[in-house]
Chain A
């Protein structure tokens, strides 16, 4: 392990993102029109067009401080003898995951017609993640005393899909507004490598690894051809000349409600991304096998030299490669749920100074390994007609969190920027979080019609 390795891993950590949310900030900002993507019931009272809003969400359920420790004026790794096994274990999770997503809103067009509001949207979204089970680190730190190792949770994957959205909201009376959005989803690219089974038993008699792995890779653009033994060769890619053609299709729904029981008090709740995609993986592969290492087998005394030992390691390596080789299997379809999110909030604009709003928000984001929740208290103020600013502080799955956002109007243009982060700090000269963290960045531009 060296510095570049850590930095690459950390860069990956900071790059992976997932379904983004800025509800806590957007809900309190008066002029953030794209809040409808977080709660379809909340819409402005006039038309708008938004172009190019970018949201990125980075989530890591362990931070760099789980792997790096200050020690006598220098920084050591978790495998340094000064770091106890207990301390190392306390900093890790059963599955250590780095997940993320990017949501890029190419265009959003909102039309206000009396009590009705219509939204049309086109988004490009990506989700991806890496997961590493605790048992790998446990083995490196403690050794073979604790067996078996369960590495089934190891995996990585990435998906990219397009979203065509129609949203409708309607005011019911003076106090209630409801909304829903239907999303047609078109899968563009998808790839993941995961394990149904990955166990390693360690013992003085043998080390045995049982592997059942699956590769799912969409094939619209490229086809991986198997060799004569039916093994997928990642170097044997052939373009099909259909770049960007769908590899999957799906549907998702958002629901939201906004209620104003009394003047200045707003309650809101929503659930988004209920649905999923049916992917077609034309480049499917499976690897399975059992690797067993019982030491040398009937090695001749005369082979007990450098060449002989090299042969043993080569044999073991070949055996391992054989077990993880991806055998081509028939293309398959697979339905995959989106990562749904639930938002709720209440806000109150001060009667004595209506430019000041306080509120409480809460949310839950589903993820297999990194489910996330937080609850925040926020304030927002628009001291000037062209400036709207908010900030919040709260507590969530990874400890104390904070958020900030601003909306600046220039003529009819509104520039929005929001950020959510934790307090754990970062590695110096980088944005790599030291602790488990959920970081969201949103930047967008809207135009009032």
Chain B
């Protein structure tokens, strides 16, 4: 139990601070990044992706990328050092959000299931973010009910032929590669008929279409597969063991959770001080509540990192952080827009720093749905932590192709 760095951590912090100071971007870019919440984009998306890749490449070349990775794959197996580096990065740490799927989720799945040749070829490029990966899981009829994916992979000579559609795939428009969860056997119960693959996104028959969101940005995509061929060597895990592989992917997200905590009550306090609202008792009470909650979230991240670094399995921390943090983004954004008052209705065109609360306002609902909706997380907490019984569900025992679906109109 200590709030301060160990001597080893303090030395690393000093080294990281010096390196970041020498390698950070010009003031204009840094100012822009301070206002960058979630996927909210004061810069064009392509420019931000390029910066995220560039910053990661600088880190990689200096030995500071993928610090949480196992040593065998070029990491340092040190989530505590990664957390320290992120603290020192300040606004630059936001870039990690662009690389979470590539460097945590897809990488973890490859580490667990790819051949050693594949790992040797692919992982260093992932660590440097030379390659961006996407994770093709959700479908129009498989969101929270992820195991209901219908994208079909059928055996053909030397591999598999894939047809179907994925949706809400973050970063697919930037990705060179992706992992794919597909149905290989529709005649067994849903979790048993799935298999995990990976493929190049420029494979013939793959079409990526960005989806414009309410914020105007388009970081999510839908993907169509039309007779796409995947060699059997690009299968990850056994045939029919795709759910197990998907769980590896989803669990790896917890390693990155600290990098995705997009709540900043200190900025809101600044806003309240600037607008003068801080003299109001109700504002002080509300802000105090958020500050307390944010402190709780950050300490929760620290508890989780400590558990991981001590080789213990973390408890309910990850689900708690996502559940509490997601709602908080929506609440804080709405509250901040109210505090800005008239300007909340119409911000100045261009780079108004207060746009950050607009972006939070648009991003909050996505955050509450993505990577485990609030409802799914509550089921996880209730069933796996509290031990409450599962609901009676027909889909777990029926063959997938006999599970009731919405009538086709």
> Is B truly associated with A?
no
Chain B residues close to A by CB (< 8 Å): none
Chain A residues close to B by CB (< 8 Å): none
